[in-house]
Amino acid sequence: KDTADKIAAGEVITDPTAVIKELIENSLDAHSTRIDIDVVDGGKKSMTITDNGDGILVDEVYLAFDRHATSKINKLDDLNELTSLGFRGEALSSIAAISKITMKTMSRQENIGSLVKLCGEQRQVQKRSFSRGTSIRVEDLFYNIPARLKHMKKGNDLSKDIIQLVENLALSHPNVSFSLNVDGRHTIRTPGDNNLHNCIFSIFGNEFGNNVIDIKYENKPLLITGYIGKPSYTRNNRKHQYIFINNRFVQDNKIAKAIEEAYENMIMINQHPVFILNISIPPHMLDVNVHPSKTKIKILNESLVLLLIKDGIKKKVRESSS
């Protein structure tokens, strides 16, 4: 059982970023408005995610680390709509199978919380009082899977991946204040005032913030909101192009291309516009069989959607420069 669990866990959790992503998504699911992330050596030494969310009830704390334990599926229908970020109920159990975990949690509904320590088969739970929310520290990831351990990226490179991940999550949740500490250094701190512009300013700086246009464009069934760069403000790479679908960060070259095409003739060759856009698409137009932790999404009526996006952005770009 132990070996099978380790293998299964290794499939779900492939690196420190996967851990951080799962833990942040749990914090978001728990209605947190503040999420602090602290990583040491690219997460190889430790990763700590602290939130001010719902917390876990004393009686449910054991359950949280059981495989397929989830508090998030109410009815089977839920699986068809990717509303809640996580629904598989195996992130915590997977992480616990391949690392050492310390969790402090206290629910809003109780005045005593839990301190949980997990290491291999050892489980230790004590009742303790904390501030409301949950803090999970993950140490020595893959300590019991030498093959994985050996092939991990360098700490520096992992830190870059983590910064990128937290940027994506922060940009898609401007209502949540994110703070990221990398080896004791503050790298990201967003205000969480539900203002995407302020969120962008805090991450990319003032110059960027001053060169983007606020857009809101509805073309049923799509709603496109966010920021597009002025045609005069371009980059020679595509780094500052962010696409979210229903607030989930996605990597979709076709959508990026459709947006770039909307700028046709307005920017120089080899230059690329910047944009941070959320595209709301009704869930029934998305293929739910795509793994929820992946950044790829499948749109069912893709060519129509691409056309709507291109047309919408084109209008906005032209408006902005006329």
Which long-range contacts does 151-155 make (Cβ < 8 Å, 24+ apart)? 152/15, 152/16, 152/44, 153/15, 153/42, 154/42, 155/41, 155/42, 155/44
For the CB of residue 66, give the shortest distance to ligand ADP in the complex, in Å: 8
**β strands within 6-77, DSSP E:** 34-40, 46-51
Give the gyration radius of the chain's Cα atoms. Answer: 21
Determine if residue 179 is left, alpha or beta; phi over 0 gives left, psi from -120 to 50 gives alpha, anything else beta: beta
Q: Return the residue of 91, 116, 166, 306 that touches Mg ion, per CB under 5 A.
A: 91
Q: Return the residue of 64, 141, 224, 259 that touches ligand ADP, per CB under 6 A.
A: 64
Among the listed residues 220, 229, 198, the one whose alpha carbon sits nearest the alpha carbon of residue 313: 229
For the CB of residue 23, give the shortest distance to Mg ion in the complex, in Å: 8
88 scored as a contact of ligand ADP (CB under 6 A):
yes
Could you tell me which residues come within 8 angstroms of residue 104 by beta carbon, excluding any fewer than 6 positions away? 113, 114, 115, 116, 128, 130, 134, 135
Q: Return the residue of 12, 13, 19, 30 that touches ligand ADP, per CB under 6 A.
A: 30
135 scored as a contact of Mg ion (CB under 5 A):
no
Stretch that binds ligand ADP, among 1-9, 82-90, 123-131, 180-188 (CB under 6 A): 82-90
For the CB of residue 27, give the shortest distance to ligand ADP in the complex, in Å: 4
For the CB of residue 67, give the shortest distance to Mg ion in the complex, in Å: 13
Q: Return the residue of 16, 17, 24, 26 that touches Mg ion, per CB under 5 A.
A: 26
Instruction: Please list every residue from 70 through 89 that binds Mg ion, using CB under 5 A.
Output: 86
For the CB of residue 56, give the shortest distance to ligand ADP in the complex, in Å: 5
The sign one gets for the Cα dihedral 246, 250, 255, 261 is positive
Element (H, E) at 170: helix 155-172
Under 8 Å between Cβ of 70 and 60: no
Stretch that binds Mg ion, among 20-28, 146-154, 258-266, 310-318 (CB under 5 A): 20-28
If contact means CB under 5 to 8 A according to the sort of partner, which of ligand ADP, Mg ion, none does residue 33 touch? none
Judged by the rule CB under 5 A, the positions of this chain that interact with Mg ion are: 26, 86, 91
Judged by the rule CB under 6 A, the positions of this chain that interact with ligand ADP are: 22, 26-27, 29-30, 51, 53-56, 64, 69-72, 86-93, 134
